[in-house]
């Protein structure tokens, strides 16, 4: 199976996972569920849950424990897009080739849909605890034979990993991650940014969710501290390259390819990597960061071939 076929298969699988966790049984609050589902069903590359699952597989994960977190991560990403598109921020009318949530449902419902997805993401991620075995501890631990002891220890380790993953999910999108980057981006719009400020924005506004996705995949697979630190470095490079490539596409792509208006950064008075370094140097930096990520992946024991190909794909993507 070639890479494009693998991508299609994985996106289909991710869509089924997301669909299984979306709200369906709403009554008086049906409008908010419709707005949430409208934006979540707009498609997209599903890169973050894809990176999470691929990392989970790389480190030997073999359960459905990762699936609630895959859905939750895409919900958090989508909520951020809904809020980004609002008139108070980027004021975009189109996203992924469709009218944005505030155009279809109004600003009030778009704000609430974003809020709803963020809150619901943690409700969904919490369902991972329901997938754990429930081994009881007897009053007299001497009653535990070796098999029961091993099962209990395994469950406690997995429960610890889910708790760790929840901490990452809560931290990386917050004020020390994605929102922190967004705050600086908004406050400094129209200002002349230095390299340190721009790097901070990219590391957090875009990179934080990519780092969270890959770190959670590693944590849930039981990778251990060293493995998680290594994959975090890979994710950092992928996140930075991803955002710089976004800057490039904002200058070079078409509406049909990108699914939204071009030159939006320039229109909103935002300084970008391309604006500082130019197109050619920006392309070279995307290449450098991606190659470094691939080299790191090759140093990890296990089959990282799909992650390597996915990183290659992200260098040349058109949307």
DSSP letter string over 137-175?
PPSSGGG--HHHHHHHHHHHHHHHHHHHHHHHHHHTTST
Residue-level length of the chain: 319
Please compute the mean of the pLDDT values over residues 112-128 and round it to a whole number: 97
241, 293 contact by CB (below 8 A): yes
Cα 36 → chain centroid: 17
Per-residue pLDDT reduced to its tens digit, 180-204: 999 999 999 888 888 899 999 999 9
Please compute the mean of the pLDDT values over residues 157-183 and round it to a whole number: 96
**Counts of helices then strands in the chain (DSSP H, E):** 15, 2
Per-residue pLDDT reduced to its tens digit, 55-85: 999 999 988 999 999 999 999 999 999 999 9
- The pLDDT of residue 157 is above 90: no
Cα 24 → chain centroid: 23
Conformational region of residue 97, where left means phi above 0, alpha means psi within -120 to 50, and beta covers everything else: left
Q: Work out the pLDDT band at 260, boundaries 50, 70, 90.
A: low
DSSP H or E stretch at residue 98: strand 98-99
> Where in the chain are the domains?
3-134+147-316
pLDDT on residue 119: 97
198, 276 contact by CB (below 8 A): yes
Entry pTM: 0.91
Q: Considering the domain 3-134+147-316 in this protein, what is its CATH number?
A: 1.10.600.10
pLDDT on residue 203: 96
44, 81 contact by CB (below 8 A): no
Q: Work out the pLDDT band at 296, boundaries 50, 70, 90.
A: very high
């Amino acid at each position: 199976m070639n890479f494009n076929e693998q991508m299609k298969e994985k996106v289909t699988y991710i869509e089924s996972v997301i669909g299984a966790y979306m709200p369906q049984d709403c009554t008086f609050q049906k409008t908010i569920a419709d707005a949430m589902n409208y934006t979540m069903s707009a498609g997209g590359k599903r890169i973050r849950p894809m990176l999470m699952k691929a990392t989970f597989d790389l480190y030997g994960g073999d359960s459905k424990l990762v699936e609630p977190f895959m859905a939750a991560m895409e919900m958090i990403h989508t909520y951020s897009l809904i809020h980004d598109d609002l008139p108070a921020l980027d004021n975009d009318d189109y996203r992924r080739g469709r009218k944005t949530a505030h155009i279809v449902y109004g600003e009030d419902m778009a704000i609430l849909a974003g809020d709803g997805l963020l809150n619901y993401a943690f409700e969904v991620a919490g369902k991972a605890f329901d997938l754990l075995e429930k081994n009881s501890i007897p009053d007299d631990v001497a009653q535990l034979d070796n098999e029961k002891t091993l099962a209990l220890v395994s469950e406690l380790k997995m429960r610890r990993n889910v708790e760790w993953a929840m901490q990452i999910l809560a931290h990386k999108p917050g004020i020390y991650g994605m929102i922190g980057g967004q705050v600086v981006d908004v406050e400094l719009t129209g200002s002349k940014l230095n390299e340190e400020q721009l790097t901070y924005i990219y590391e957090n506004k875009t990179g934080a969710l990519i780092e969270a996705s890959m770190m959670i995949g590693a944590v849930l697979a039981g990778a251990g501290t060293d493995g998680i630190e290594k994959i975090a470095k890979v994710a950092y490079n992928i996140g930075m390259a991803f955002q710089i490539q976004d800057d490039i596409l904002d200058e070079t792509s078409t509406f049909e390819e990108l699914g939204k208006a071009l030159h939006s950064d320039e229109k909103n008075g935002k300084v970008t990597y391309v604006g500082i370094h130019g197109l050619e140097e920006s392309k070279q930096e995307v290449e450098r960061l991606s190659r470094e990520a691939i080299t790191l992946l090759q140093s990890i024991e296990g089959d990282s071939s799909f992650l390597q190909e996915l990183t290659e794909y992200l260098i040349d993507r058109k949307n």
